[in-house]
């Protein structure tokens, strides 16, 4: 049954428009109804913006009142807390290639991949086009500036940004 929900989401629902177009609230409800049947855990009142991609959703958890941003790309084991706001084009990649075995070409399908979970705390704002790499944990009440590439974990109440992302200041 899950494959049917995945098909409906990717073939149809992910393309429904967002605000301010008429009917956007209905489109959000349609996407949410499907996503609740697809992902591992989906909290209440989650907003799924259009063109969000999360594979088969089996390793994605999203807390209450959070958003999956427009055109987001989420892969691997990712846990998103409650009240998380996400701008467009965010990428969260919890999977990567194991580059230690040099005897096989990287493109070889038998080449192992590594998965290091990503954890996003509560009340986090992830700006437009942020990239979060494997193994990163973002603490509660953190703001990630647009365009940041987050390669390491940050504690809560932080404002971070840059390439690679660096601590800018404590959120008051």
The secondary structure of the chain, three-state, reads CHHHHHHHHHHCHHHCCCCCCCCHHHHHHHHHHHHHHHCCEECCCCEECCCCECCCCCCEEECCCCEECCCCEEECCEEECCCCEECCCCEEECEEECCCCCCCCCCCCCCCEEECCEEECCCCEECCCCEECCCCEECCCCEECCCCEECCCECCCEEEECCCCEEEEECC
Model pLDDT for residues 80-118, shown as the tens digit of each residue: 999 999 999 999 999 988 777 777 777 777 777 789 999
With respect to residue 105, please indicate whether it lies within any of the assigned structural domains.
no
Model pLDDT for residues 19-46, shown as the tens digit of each residue: 888 888 999 999 999 999 999 999 999 9
CATH number of the domain encompassing residue 81: 2.160.10.10
Q: How confident is the model at residue 78 (pLDDT cuts 50, 70, 90)?
A: very high
Domain of residue 42 covers 2-98+111-170
97 is catalytic: yes
pTM for the full predicted model: 0.92
Q: Quote the number of domains for the chain.
A: 1
With respect to residue 67, please indicate whether it lies within any of the assigned structural domains.
yes
**Of 15, 40, 97, 111, catalytic:** 97
């Amino acid at each position: 049954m899950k494959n049917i929900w995945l098909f409906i989401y990717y073939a149809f629902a992910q393309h429904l428009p967002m605000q301010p177009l008429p009917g956007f609230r209905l489109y959000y409800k349609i996407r949410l109804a499907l996503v609740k049947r697809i992902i591992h855990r989906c909290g209440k009142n989650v907003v799924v913006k259009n063109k969000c991609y999360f594979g088969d959703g089996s390793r994605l958890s999203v807390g209450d009142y959070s958003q999956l941003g427009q055109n987001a790309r989420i892969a691997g084991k990712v846990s998103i807390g409650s009240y998380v706001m996400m701008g467009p084009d965010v990428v969260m990649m919890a999977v990567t290639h194991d580059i230690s075995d040099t005897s096989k070409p990287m493109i070889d399908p038998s080449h192992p991949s590594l998965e290091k979970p990503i954890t996003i705390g509560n009340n986090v704002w992830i700006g437009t086009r942020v990239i979060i790499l494997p193994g990163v944990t973002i603490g509660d009440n953190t703001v990630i500036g647009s365009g940041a590439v987050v390669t390491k974990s940050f504690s809560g109440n932080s404002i971070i940004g840059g390439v690679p992302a660096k601590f800018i200041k404590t959120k008051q």
